[in-house]
Every structure is written in C-alpha cells, then in structure tokens.
C-alpha cells in the first residue's frame, strides 16, 4: 500500500513528546501518541498510543487504545484496547475487544461491550465515569481484574 492509499487515521496527527507536559482536552481525528505527560480528556475515532515512557492521567474515548506506558483513568474504545507487557492501567476499561500481554499491571474493571459508536451523551457523563459508574448499560461479559503477572 502506498502513501496515497493510507487512511487518514494511519498518520500520527498529534504527539505529546517525551519531556512534554500537557493539561486539557484533545478532540482530534486520527492518531495521538503520548510519550510525555498528559492530564485531561482525549476524544478521537482513531487511535491513542501511550508509549513506554508515556504517562496519562485521563479519560480516553477512542477507536483503538494501545497502552505501553501508564494510564491512570478510564478507557472507552469503540474497537479494541491493547495493553502491552510494559503497560499499566489504573482504571476501568470498556471495549468490544481486549488484548493483554503477559506482564501488565491492571487494576480496574474490564467490560467487554457490544461494538457501537461512543455517543456524546456517554462522553458528557464524565463525573459518573470518574465515580466508577459506567456510562453504558451492563455488558454481557464482565471481567474484574487486579493483577500483576509476575509469576
């Protein structure tokens, strides 16, 4: 596939580089890579990648979320969440697909939900999410995890 055939979401639209701190809300189309420190809310239909040295204290609404660093907050993905072996998630995860490599640290509730677009109404319920209440109705499958794969 040549560059002209790549979808817009294949390009990194925004980078929070190592050594950079950002506080606030990010609404974007495409891909966000976090290698520095981010605090706030991210909304994208594309991907959010938290690199090995990235630290995010936030709520994430995205198509796909890949965690290689630390995320302290809730993750809502329309497609899938991938936590790499170097990843740490301290918060709740809701996604139709959930992939976890060996060695992750996960402390929160994981819900496998039907694949559906996130609505602005669900995103607007931020305080309920931060209180540990999911903005979506109960899912068919519920995983509760508080584990560290060290042995």
User: What are the angstrom distances between the C-alpha of 145 and each of 11, 47, 92, 127?
Assistant: 33, 24, 10, 23
Hey, where are the domains in the chain? 3-148
pLDDT, the chain, mean: 80
Beta bridge partners of 31: 12
Question: pTM of the entire structure?
Answer: 0.72
Range ranked top by mean pLDDT from 56-60, 116-120, 130-134, 147-151: 56-60
**How confident is the model over 92-96, as a mean pLDDT?**
97
Residue 130 in this model has a pLDDT that exceeds 70: no
Residue 28 in this model has a pLDDT that exceeds 50: yes
């Amino acid at each position: 596939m040549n560059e002209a055939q790549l979808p817009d979401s294949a390009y990194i639209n925004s980078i929070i580089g190592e050594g950079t701190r950002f506080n606030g809300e990010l609404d974007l189309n495409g891909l966000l890579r976090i290698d520095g420190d981010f605090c706030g809310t991210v909304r994208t239909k594309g991907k959010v990648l938290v690199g090995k040295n990235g630290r995010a204290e936030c709520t994430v609404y995205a198509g796909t979320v890949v965690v290689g660093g630390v995320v302290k907050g809730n993750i809502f993905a329309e497609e899938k969440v991938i936590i790499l072996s170097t990843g740490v998630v301290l918060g709740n995860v809701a996604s139709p697909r959930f992939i976890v490599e060996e060695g992750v640290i996960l402390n929160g509730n994981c819900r496998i939900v039907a694949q559906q677009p996130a609505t602005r109404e669900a995103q607007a319920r931020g305080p309920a999410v931060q209180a540990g209440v999911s903005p979506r109705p109960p899912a068919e499958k519920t995983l509760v995890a508080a584990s560290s794969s060290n042995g």
